[in-house]
Structure formats: C-alpha cells, structure tokens
Amino acid sequence: MQTSCVAPDKKDLGRALCIVTGASKGFGRTIAKEISLLLKPRSVLVLAARSCEKLQELKADLDSSGAGREGLVTCCVVADLATNEGVGSVISAAKEFSIKDMDNLILINNAASLGDVSRYTQSFTNMAEVDSYLSFNVSSALSLTASLLQAFPQQQGLRRCIVNVSSLCALKPFPSWVLYCTGKAAREMMFRVLAEEEPDIRVLSYSPGPMDTDMQIVARDTTADLTVKKSFVSLLNQGQLITCEASCAKLLKVLLEDSYLSGAHLDFYEL
C-alpha cells in the first residue's frame, strides 16, 4: 500500500472534485464547510443528502462564502442513498464536471444511520430490518465508491482519495448497538480490501470520536444498554463531547499531510 512523504507545508487540497454524502447536517455539513476552505478556485463540491431544504441552505452559505466568491462550484444532489437511483444521481451530478486539470478526486462516505439501539441482538429476528440497514450503510457506500472510481479512472496527475467515516464501533462491540457495530465493521473491511487492491487510491477510515450531533442525542436517549447509555450522558455532562469542527480539523489535517497508510483506521483521539 502506498504511503507518501509528509508535506508539512501543504496548505490546501488543490483543485478538487469533492463529494460529501450526508452533507445536510452534523459532521457531513461541517466537512463540507471546512473542506471548502481548502479547495482552490474552480473546485467542485457535490453535496448529497435527503433533505433538499438543508442542502440549499448549506449551498447558499457556501456560495456567499469566500470560497464561493472565489469560484467554488457547489452542487446539491437530493438523493436517497439507500437506492440505486440515489447513488446513480450522485454519480451523474459528479460526471457533469470535468476532472481535467483537477488535482484531487475526494469522496467522503459520511452518510450513515444509527439503527435501533433501543434493543438487543436477540430482538433482530426480522431480516428485512437488517437488510435495509446494511443496504444503506454498507451496500450503498460500496456502490457509490465503485461507481465513482469507474466514472473517474486513474489518470496522470489525479490523486483519488476515498474517506470512510468510521467509528470505534468498527473495532469494538457495544451492547445494544449490533446494527451500528456490524455495519461499521463491514465498511471498514470493505475499504481495507479496496486499499489492498488499488495502491494508487488513497483510502482512509476515520473515526471522528463522540461528536455533539443529532445522532449523539438519539444514542444518549435510546440506547438500551445502561452502561453504554450512561457513558454518553457522562460525556455530555463532563463537556467531553467533541465539536464537529474539532473532529473535522483533524480529518483535514490528515488529508493535507497525506502520510497515512492507505486502508488505515485513524481515530480522533490518536491524532
């Protein structure tokens, strides 16, 4: 697998076509805003999510920002990534733009769902529920990644980078979080296989830590396992939840330095 030299003086991601899924809120929205500051003029940011309204708000913010005024093109795709059509519409939107003279193609696979954490493994008797969870959280990320790599094949001067927004749950089992842990473990392995296969592609699984997001609220309110639930309440009460901005800053630093081993799992707390 490819590692590259540390470039400590690298201040931006060059001219890039960058796709962020789950961009309408939480970590995805923060990534979109923060990464826009690192993109050179005439870069393109493709933002995918289900909520049209929130995407449009974000686009308005970005268009009126410094990056927007300097020529960042922001394109919103309202899509349900749980479907082939949703994945297809993100790819179609990205293909509208020429990759010629781009330095980077970056896909941030951020979209994910928590699954029902109010129940234990023994309660997941309905295959359709599990199927649906895995489809959105695993199959969709694979299909989107594969389709994008096919749409934009290897070419000289183009650096292709795939980010998997991962979790400690990809590595460690948490009681009453069977869907989330299973999905994150599956994604992690999927991207490790990709990294093994394609030495020219940069693949990163980034675990952003416990962030102060809507998902965190649901986790705190509904987790069945009391020990896990209390740990979330304690993070909140002790002011230890991470802001999306702080976590995003570490992710972007890793992407700028570009010295990670492709396929690696990097954790907020270890950076």
3-class secondary-structure state, position 202: strand
Contact 82, 50 (CB under 8 A): no
Which CB sits closer to a second copy, 87 or 94?
87
**Minimum separation from the CB atom of position 94 to a second copy (A):** 14
3-class secondary-structure state, position 174: coil
**Minimum separation from the CB atom of position 247 to a second copy (A):** 23
Cα separation, 121 vs 7, in Å, equals 46
**Minimum separation from the CB atom of position 50 to a second copy (A):** 16
**Minimum separation from the CB atom of position 123 to a second copy (A):** 6
Longest dimension (CA), the chain: 54
Q: Which residue ranges make up the site for a second copy (CB under 8 A)?
A: 83-84, 87, 120-128, 130-131, 134-135, 138-140, 142-143, 145-147, 149-150, 170, 173-178, 181-190, 192-198, 225, 263
What residues contact 221, with CB distance under 8 A and at least 6 apart? none
Which CB sits closer to a second copy, 30 or 145?
145
Closest by Cα among 207, 264, 223, 235 to 2: 264
Which CB sits closer to a second copy, 70 or 131?
131
**Minimum separation from the CB atom of position 244 to a second copy (A):** 26
What residues contact 22, with CB distance under 8 A and at least 6 apart? 28, 48, 49, 110, 111, 112
Which CB sits closer to a second copy, 25 or 202?
202
Which CB sits closer to a second copy, 32 or 91?
91
**Minimum separation from the CB atom of position 183 to a second copy (A):** 7
**Tokens linked to 19:** 């796709």
Q: Which residue shows structure tokens 């993100």?
A: 90
Cα separation, 143 vs 132, in Å, equals 15
Cα separation, 252 vs 36, in Å, equals 11
Which CB sits closer to a second copy, 198 or 258?
198
Contact 244, 212 (CB under 8 A): yes
